[in-house]
Chains A and B, each alone.
Chain A
């Protein structure tokens, strides 16, 4: 595998792909414009479900952004050559996903035109404001990290930059998880387990995204990924998926332990309609059990196509999981008068309904388009494709 092979990405295919992604981005921006001019009344969001599909997309991308950097961290911080070769791509994906996620988040604001206000007025007590600072810092640190990896003159700093990025991203994901953890009155989010759960979710989604992009790049260049490398990455992925599964069980078990949370658990696990289906079919079956079985299977687990397929399922399961957490958590009514039955014109005490609209979906898709467009262009102009130089990789570095 040499650089030249990778740099010969066919010109035409590249432009076609870039144009297609550009179109997805444009459609997303158009959808956002439509939402802004007409107001959120054209979305499925209401005063009961205040965060909708755009948040699901945005949170997925932001969480995956910090997780995808894991690949680089394992390389730089823990000194594993196979991962080190993938560090630049991992860092690039982190920036691209964060850019996509933040764009969606921003365009879903009631007043996206007030970006300057958001940048100049800080309430330092707000975890949201803290997130803005952490996101900005993440861009800077990861960009510096990429620079230290690409420029031989500053290569010596790569390890430090990698370490800073590693710490920063843990803080970032904790803060993202805490956005929900701070909502003490909402039963879905009052669990302390949410922040660590977001970290482990980020590992899983991030690595799944990495594997998908990497598979695509190898296929594009007519290359095959070395089996030893594939084996390691899929083992790591399986570990992360298993860990998310474990946290999910703990989250629901602790909720079941508190009698006041039973109603909520009943809603999600048994009679929550779409949310129950998404939980069991989307998150548990498609996003956890099937990919886990495939990844751990003796033959499927080392077939690059089925590993790719598992990674795609994990991404789908991730969306289902975030949909259940974000929207399911709001659909269940707030208990303003515990122990009482509540009714009102403002839908107190009632399960809230949400019908996502097309513009919201297109906006979310546009965010993914942004992430992929950045990746596609950057990969073409810079050297981001993993270069495994096996002469320099000792055998034991490949076996763990």
Chain B
């Protein structure tokens, strides 16, 4: 199976009890074997349900660490609220975290959010044995939570430590964002919002706090704000030496 096909489903199945059912039992697994198209992101309202994510678009973010405030954690809290995680024990999921970095040569420090960089050539997708890790045509890297066997090889392979493994049973989940014990997960770029024409919760929260450090947009559209800024400003790809061509860019570091 090719890795960059769009696996977003035709979304005739909104029924979450059905999704629950899929979580259990061998019969359901056999069903999954022949219907890998049934994935978690079955609420695609931004575009017509049968319309596939298009490769004309490449979703990305530009993060301005100059605007990102040390001590501000609004993007992280917003992400946790949106996607249903909290806590910072070593076993807790953290799809996004604030990283404080200090240049050892000149002593300069920066604060910035770090999350899945939505690589164009994602190592997590390359190593995933089942194909559960995949990249949509529009550049968003996701985990198909029904195919992930929880081997955690993707976590070993990701250079950004962007992925988390669900270590225990979860309660009170957002039905838009199914998560589950024993599977690996990461930032989805709030695909459920993006597909409805919105933007990631972190970007919204950052604007709401008045920092505007996170700019979301289409890197393929030369007229988008993000493309213009990437074209004119000095932006960085974190670990650019790895040649992964990430979708999340940084400015000011």
Contact with B along A113-128 (1 / 0, CB 8 A): 1111110111101111
Contact with B along A181-216 (1 / 0, CB 8 A): 011111000000000000000000000000000000
Known: A116-B33, A183-B156, A185-B239. Is A336-B130 also a contact (CB below 8 A)?
A: no
A255 to B183 CA separation, bound complex (whole angstroms): 34
Give the residue of B1, B103, B130, B148 whose beta carbon is less than 8 angstroms from that of A340.
B103
B178 beta carbon closer than 8 Å to chain A: no
Give the residue of A36, A110, A112, A334 whose beta carbon is less than 8 angstroms from that of B161.
A334
Q: Tell me which residues from 98 to 153 in chain A have a Cβ below 8 Å from any Cβ of chain B.
A: 109-118, 120-123, 125-129, 132
Q: In the complex, what residue of chain A is closest to B108 when comparing beta carbons?
A: A340
The answer to whether B161 and A336 have CB atoms under 8 Å apart is: yes
B52 beta carbon closer than 8 Å to chain A: no
Residues of chain A contacted by B166 (CB below 8 angstroms): 39, 110
Give the residue of B88, B103, B161, B181 whose beta carbon is less than 8 angstroms from that of A348.
B161
The answer to whether B153 and A47 have CB atoms under 8 Å apart is: no
A80 to B105 CA separation, bound complex (whole angstroms): 62
Interface size on A, residues (CB 8 A): 54
Known: A46-B91, A109-B151. Is A339-B105 also a contact (CB below 8 A)?
A: yes
A18 to B3 CA separation, bound complex (whole angstroms): 47
The answer to whether B33 and A346 have CB atoms under 8 Å apart is: no
Contact with A along B105-134 (1 / 0, CB 8 A): 100000000100000000101111111100
A299 beta carbon closer than 8 Å to chain B: no
The answer to whether A342 and B99 have CB atoms under 8 Å apart is: yes
Residues of chain A contacted by B163 (CB below 8 angstroms): 47
A399 beta carbon closer than 8 Å to chain B: no
The answer to whether B147 and A47 have CB atoms under 8 Å apart is: no
Shortest Cβ gap from B131 to chain A (Å): 4
The answer to whether A41 and B167 have CB atoms under 8 Å apart is: yes
B97 beta carbon closer than 8 Å to chain A: yes
The answer to whether A337 and B182 have CB atoms under 8 Å apart is: no
The answer to whether B239 and A122 have CB atoms under 8 Å apart is: no
Chain B at the A interface: SS class: loop
A53 to B57 CA separation, bound complex (whole angstroms): 43
The answer to whether A117 and B182 have CB atoms under 8 Å apart is: no
Shortest Cβ gap from B57 to chain A (Å): 24
Residues of chain A contacted by B146 (CB below 8 angstroms): 117
Shortest Cβ gap from A322 to chain B (Å): 15
A337 to B159 CA separation, bound complex (whole angstroms): 10
B231 beta carbon closer than 8 Å to chain A: no
The answer to whether B149 and A114 have CB atoms under 8 Å apart is: yes
A183 to B126 CA separation, bound complex (whole angstroms): 11
A112 to B126 CA separation, bound complex (whole angstroms): 21
Known: A39-B166, A41-B91. Is A339-B103 also a contact (CB below 8 A)?
A: yes
Known: A123-B1, A123-B128. Is A50-B168 also a contact (CB below 8 A)?
A: no
The answer to whether B183 and A128 have CB atoms under 8 Å apart is: no
Q: Tell me which residues from 334 to 368 in chain A have a Cβ below 8 Å from any Cβ of chain B.
A: 334, 336-348, 352-353
Q: Tell me which residues from 73 to 93 in chain B have a Cβ below 8 Å from any Cβ of chain A.
A: 76, 88, 90-93
A247 beta carbon closer than 8 Å to chain B: no
Residues of chain B contacted by A346 (CB below 8 angstroms): 88, 94, 97, 99, 114, 161
Shortest Cβ gap from A356 to chain B (Å): 14
Residues of chain A contacted by B165 (CB below 8 angstroms): 40, 45, 47, 50, 110
Interface centre among A51, A109, A336, by most chain B C-beta atoms within 10 angstroms, is A336
Residues of chain B contacted by A47 (CB below 8 angstroms): 90-94, 155, 161, 163-165, 167
The answer to whether A128 and B151 have CB atoms under 8 Å apart is: yes
The answer to whether A121 and B33 have CB atoms under 8 Å apart is: yes
The answer to whether A41 and B168 have CB atoms under 8 Å apart is: yes
Residues of chain A contacted by B153 (CB below 8 angstroms): 126, 128, 179
Residues of chain A contacted by B193 (CB below 8 angstroms): none
A48 beta carbon closer than 8 Å to chain B: yes
The answer to whether B126 and A40 have CB atoms under 8 Å apart is: no
A12 beta carbon closer than 8 Å to chain B: no
Q: Which candidate, B10-18, B24-32, B213-221, is the interface stretch facing chain A? A: B24-32
The answer to whether A125 and B90 have CB atoms under 8 Å apart is: no
Contact with B along A46-62 (1 / 0, CB 8 A): 11101100000000000
The answer to whether A110 and B150 have CB atoms under 8 Å apart is: yes
A114 to B253 CA separation, bound complex (whole angstroms): 43
Give the residue of A41, A123, A179, A340 whose beta carbon is less than 8 angstroms from that of B131.
A123
A225 to B32 CA separation, bound complex (whole angstroms): 55
A38 beta carbon closer than 8 Å to chain B: yes
A335 to B75 CA separation, bound complex (whole angstroms): 23
Residues of chain A contacted by B32 (CB below 8 angstroms): 117
B98 beta carbon closer than 8 Å to chain A: yes
Interface centre among A39, A118, A334, by most chain B C-beta atoms within 10 angstroms, is A39
A129 to B101 CA separation, bound complex (whole angstroms): 37
The answer to whether A126 and B99 have CB atoms under 8 Å apart is: no
B172 beta carbon closer than 8 Å to chain A: no
The answer to whether A117 and B149 have CB atoms under 8 Å apart is: yes
Known: A123-B3, A336-B99, A341-B102. Is A110-B182 also a contact (CB below 8 A)?
A: yes
Could you name 15 residue pairs across A and B whose Cβ atoms are closer than 8 Å?
A: A39-B167, A40-B91, A47-B161, A48-B90, A110-B165, A126-B128, A179-B153, A182-B123, A337-B253, A340-B103, A340-B104, A341-B102, A343-B99, A346-B97, A348-B97
* 14 further interface pairs, Cβ-Cβ under 8 Å (given A110-B149, A117-B130): A39-B166, A110-B148, A110-B184, A114-B150, A115-B149, A118-B129, A126-B126, A128-B128, A132-B129, A334-B161, A336-B114, A343-B100, A344-B98, A352-B90
User: Interface of A with B (CB < 8 Å)?
Assistant: 36, 38-41, 45-48, 50-51, 109-118, 120-123, 125-129, 132, 179, 182-186, 330, 334, 336-348, 352-353
Q: Which 4 A-B pairs have the closest CB atoms?
A: A110-B150, A110-B182, A185-B159, A46-B90
